[in-house]
Amino acid sequence: MRYVSLKDIACRRSPSMTGPALPPAPEAAPLMRDARIEARMRDAREVEVALTLTASDLPAQAADALQGRLADRLEAALSREFGQLVAAYRARLEEQLAKGQDAALREALNRVRLQTGVLAGLPMADQAEACELLGLSLANPSATMRRKEQKGEILRFTLEGRARYPLFQFDAEAQRLHPAMSAILAERPAGWSDFRLLYWLTRPHRALGDATPAARLGRDPGAVLAAFRDAAEPADHG
């Protein structure tokens, strides 16, 4: 059994899987438990997740797993459980926030609320819709979009346990991302998170006549890129 923070997935290996098991981390309050997932809350910013896998959870061929089939299988099988985990985590945060005793918790939860509010107000595409907008095969939208995400070629968020992609980044007529968006993703400083980039793209900018960069990606890409490079320059130089 191996435990990590919420941003990672921890695996508790079954006897059929290789590698030694590690003892559970102490002093963590139970948060959620079912047949495959056990979650415990260590503090406001760390949730330990143990994922139990058996042979039935794995594809038949190891070679297929190495090509991404394992990730697809797990995403499909566990999306409901992880949605429940996130809901339980937020409920626990709300409960602790009501007690007013944890400044770090208040900061973390306020950040979550801000991000949720921003995301909820944006038109989004799901994985199948994103494939259609990009003219890609619909045979396996999850695997197709994951490859683009891993290459840093698209901006992706999770809403209610599902992958979602802001619509403003798509050039639907050309079945591609707006070239300016692709350039921004390629040039983004290492310190810019996805949400920080999203926030920049959706705030009005004086250099763009108080329009948002997202609204100008297709109409004035040069100005958007110039504004982005000006904003990113301090991060590039420390």
Tell whether the model's pLDDT for residue 78 goes beyond 80: no
Tell whether the model's pLDDT for residue 189 goes beyond 90: yes
Give the contacts of 77 (CB within 8 A, at least 6 positions apart). Answer: 57
Where in the chain are the domains? 11-101, 124-236
Tell whether the model's pLDDT for residue 228 goes beyond 90: yes
pLDDT score of 98: 64
Rg (CA), the chain: 20
Average pLDDT over residues 40-59: 66
117-171 pLDDT, tens digit per residue, is 677 778 999 999 999 999 999 999 999 999 999 998 999 998 878 899 999 999 9
Residue 69 has phi, psi (to 5 degrees) of -65, -35
| Residue 2 banded pLDDT, cuts 50, 70, 90 | very low
Tell whether the model's pLDDT for residue 201 goes beyond 90: yes
pLDDT score of 9: 38
Sheet holding 29-33, edge to edge: 11-12, 46-52, 37-43, 29-33
pLDDT score of 1: 37
Give the least confident one: 68-72, 203-207, 219-223: 68-72
pLDDT score of 17: 41
pLDDT score of 39: 77
52-70 pLDDT, tens digit per residue, is 766 565 555 544 444 455 5
pLDDT score of 130: 96
Average pLDDT of the chain to the nearest whole number: 75
Tell whether the model's pLDDT for residue 42 goes beyond 80: no
Tell whether the model's pLDDT for residue 94 goes beyond 90: no
